[in-house]
């Protein structure tokens, strides 16, 4: 396999093996698609990626972690169409994450003052926003959530998205059901891995039924939650096998839990100081100062840092696999493809230099490589939205008005 060799995923031709992975953009005030968001993804498509993935498309209003996340509902339909058209016009495929917060949220305007996940407990992620308690989802809650995923998938397809990614990692709702650390249910949805997979597989079926067989459906899953009592690689392998049998077309392999081990995903320098500086809520700012050092601890960066774990999944399934984590250079990409992974996913390196795919293709180093400083993480909630602080003006700020 060659990096810039086209390939087919569920009947859709992709122009190369490079995927822009979802990174929370911070460009959707009030949950609305903006010109800045459209330009952000258009720019990545122009830079040469095969797929540009829009971050966190909430399947309902109660599914958000923050207020400023897109809700996949009819009132956003026209602007979603503009977004997908902009990506498509640059030769890339538009994808969006289907996501649900589950047992933690910081989003206001919900239908209840509690959050709902697999099990009850303290919602440390959202307690400073007035949502301190998580309660177990009822059977009716789960049925409604499955329906929400199917409805959101159908709307996304109508809006022109040509692929979808079901977010099953990083500690969000599906991840909470899969992880033994957060799923303490005593019914058929908890306990064994077979039971913990029950709701995720129902969601996969609902999404597949909504979009049809000839439609690329990816899933982002954890190789490990990054802490002792969480999901580990042996169960991650079994989850991959189950998702392959359920009809997922490709797996994007990741790791970490946003409320516990975010640096297991990011690696490199801690962005805590920048996050404290950007936080406008005085209570949350104080909480970050008080306890953030325990969560955002620096973690050694290595190129292709999920490789060893991902190879265990590669040995267990036949489906296309996407390697994420520490992919920076052409050599990193070639190593991944040589290992049998069908594609690579990149986030921070493309924030640093959205032209990186085209520059690698032409033999240029271009604007250099991401330094793993993670300062971009601290910029997600600023007015400019997520961007690399090392390479000048944020993408998506200067937008030419329509004629």
Question: Does some domain include residue 2?
Answer: no
pTM strictly above 0.95 = no
Question: Does some domain include residue 397?
Answer: no
User: Hey, is 81 helix, strand or coil?
Assistant: helix
Number of domains in the chain: 1
Q: Which of 194, 180, 202, 192 is nearest to 118 (CA)?
A: 180
pLDDT score at 189: 98
Question: Does some domain include residue 240?
Answer: yes
Q: Which residue has the tokens 């040995």?
A: 315
pLDDT score at 133: 74
Q: At what angle do helices 307-314 and 233-246 cross, to 10 degrees?
A: 50
Question: Does some domain include residue 400?
Answer: no
Q: What is the CATH number of the domain that holds 36?
A: 3.20.20.70
Question: Does some domain include residue 389?
Answer: no
Residues forming the active site: 172
pLDDT score at 1: 82
Q: Rounded CA gap, 364 and 357, in Å? A: 10
pLDDT score at 34: 95
What percent of the chain has pLDDT above 70?
A: 91
Question: Does some domain include residue 95?
Answer: yes
Q: Rounded CA gap, 63 and 166, in Å? A: 13
Q: Rounded CA gap, 238 and 92, in Å? A: 32
pLDDT score at 399: 36
CA angle 162, 168, 316 (to 5 degrees): 90
pLDDT score at 403: 31
User: Hey, is 141 helix, strand or coil?
Assistant: helix
Regions of the chain with pLDDT less than 70:
106-113, 123-131, 365-368, 392-403
Question: Does some domain include residue 385?
Answer: no
pLDDT score at 126: 59
Q: Which residue has the tokens 């036949």?
A: 318
The C-alpha torsion from 65 through 67 and 73 to 74, rounded to 10°, is -170
pLDDT score at 402: 32
Question: Does some domain include residue 186?
Answer: yes
The C-alpha torsion from 360 through 362 and 367 to 373, rounded to 10°, is 0
Domain that holds residue 374: 7-379
């Amino acid at each position: 396999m060659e990096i810039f060799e086209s390939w087919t995923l569920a009947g859709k031709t992709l122009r190369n093996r490079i995927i822009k992975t979802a990174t929370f953009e911070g460009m959707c005030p009030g949950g609305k698609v903006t010109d800045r968001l459209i330009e952000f993804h258009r720019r990545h498509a122009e830079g040469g990626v095969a797929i540009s993935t829009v971050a966190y498309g909430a399947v309902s209003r109660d599914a958000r972690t923050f207020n400023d996340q897109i809700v996949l509902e009819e009132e956003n339909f026209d602007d979603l169409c503009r977004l997908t058209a902009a990506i498509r016009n640059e030769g890339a495929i538009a994808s969006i994450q289907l996501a649900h917060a589950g047992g933690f949220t910081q989003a206001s305007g919900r239908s209840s003052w509690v959050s709902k996940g697999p099990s009850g407990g303290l919602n440390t992620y959202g307690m400073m926003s007035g949502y301190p308690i998580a309660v177990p989802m009822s059977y009716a809650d789960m049925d409604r959530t499955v329906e929400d995923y199917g409805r959101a998938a159908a709307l996304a397809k109508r809006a022109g998205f040509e692929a979808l990614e079901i977010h099953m990692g990083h500690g969000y709702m599906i991840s909470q059901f899969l992880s033994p650390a957060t799923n303490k249910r005593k019914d058929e949805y908890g306990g064994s891995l077979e039971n913990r997979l029950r709701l995720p597989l129902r969601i996969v079926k609902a999404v597949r039924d909504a979009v049809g067989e000839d439609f690329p459906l990816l899933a982002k899953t954890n190789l490990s939650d990054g802490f002792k009592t969480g999901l580990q690689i042996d169960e991650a392998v079994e989850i991959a096998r189950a998702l392959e049998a359920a009809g997922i077309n490709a797996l994007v392999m990741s790791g970490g839990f946003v409320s516990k081990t975010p640096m297991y995903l990011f690696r490199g320098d801690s962005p805590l100081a920048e996050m404290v500086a950007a936080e406008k809520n005085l209570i949350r700012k104080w909480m970050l100062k008080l306890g953030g050092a325990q969560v955002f601890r620096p973690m050694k960066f290595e190129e292709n840092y999920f490789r060893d774990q991902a190879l265990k999944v590669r040995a267990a399934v036949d489906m296309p696999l996407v390697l994420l984590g520490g992919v920076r250079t052409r050599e990193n990409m070639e190593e991944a493809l040589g290992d049998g992974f069908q594609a690579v996913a990149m986030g921070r390196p493309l924030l640093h230099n959205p032209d990186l795919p085209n520059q690698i293709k032409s033999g240029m180093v271009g604007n250099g490589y991401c330094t793993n400083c993670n300062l971009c993480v601290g910029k997600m909630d600023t007015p400019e939205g997520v961007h690399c602080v090392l390479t000048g003006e944020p993408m998506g700020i200067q937008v030419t008005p329509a004629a």
